Homo-oligomer: A and B are copies of this chain.
Amino acid sequence: MSAAPIRVGVLGAKGKVGRAICEAVEAAPDLELVAQVDTGDRIETFVDTRTQVVVDFTHPDVVMGNLEFLVANGIHAVIGTTGFDESRLATVQSWLDEQPATGVLIAPNFAIGAVLLMRFSAAAARFFDSVEVIELHHPNKADAPSGTAYRTAAMIAEARAEAGVGRSPDATTTELEGARGADVDGVRVHSVRMAGLVAHQEVILGTQGETLTIRHDSIDRNSFAPGVLLGVRQIGSRPGLTVGIDSFLDL
């Protein structure tokens, strides 16, 4: 690997997430941290330092301004900031139309394991009679099931529908209310809330005599870092707009 390191900049560099990304970039031998920008700093620093890729975990109020500048200057961007609706995505696309060599990755979830779990579960879903989802989180979570579990179940249901697979068999005739979980498009989802946990999800698929279980455990908030670095390394060869890190995984 004699290639020169990729020159990386971070926007929102003093925030909790930003600092974690700076550390991760500094620890990677194939990346070089050349610019850190936060509120009050000049964004032109990225041009001055010949930054190749900027990571942005800032705020919905400022991210569009940041992106417009970056794209206009041909700097690739990896964006974890939230708040991108169809309208915002269309605007970003219009900027990129003028800069066809520049790449922008916008992703709501950089945890590679979570993304792989969803993909593998959907890919496997049509080969099994039964499938259910169990998600387990810390007890301060307000919604049940989690957004990730909901999307996972919906993706599984869609894959089964496309393949013409029916509902999971279930002979339950006597149920204590709630025992069989929530029904998301025909897929049962169970939510556990427990002290000592952070964010965990398990998909169980079963057919005659065998089960396949795919489980993701996330135990700290830094689990986005490997996904961000994956984006940083690949965005240079992925011009245009990409939403979600799924397609970068080349599964």
Contact = CB atoms under 8 A, between A and B. Distances in A.
A204 interface: yes
Interface string A223-249: 101100010000000000000000001
B172 A179 contact: no
A213 interface: yes
B176 A180 contact: no
A217 interface: yes
Interface in A169-222: 169-184, 188-198, 204-222
B195 A129 contact: yes
Nearest to A202: B213
How many identical subunits does the complex contain?
4
B194 A206 contact: yes
A180 B144 contact: yes
B219 A196 contact: yes
B194 A222 contact: no
Interface residues of A, number: 80
Given A194-B132, A209-B222, A182 B177 contact: yes
A196 to B, nearest CB: 3
Contacts of A194: 130, 132, 168, 204, 206, 211
Nearest to A30: B164
Contacts of A139: 129-130, 168-171
Contact of A177 (B111, B178, B211, B218): B178
Give chain A's interface secondary structure class. mixed
A113 interface: yes
Contacts of A113: 128, 205, 207, 210-212
B207 A213 contact: no
Interface in A145-177: 145, 150, 164, 168-177
Query: 4 tightest A-B contacts by CB?
Result: A196-B206, A209-B223, A179-B182, A210-B223
Interface of A: 1, 24, 111-114, 116-117, 120, 123-124, 127-130, 132, 134, 136, 139-145, 150, 164, 168-184, 188-198, 204-223, 225-226, 230, 249, 251
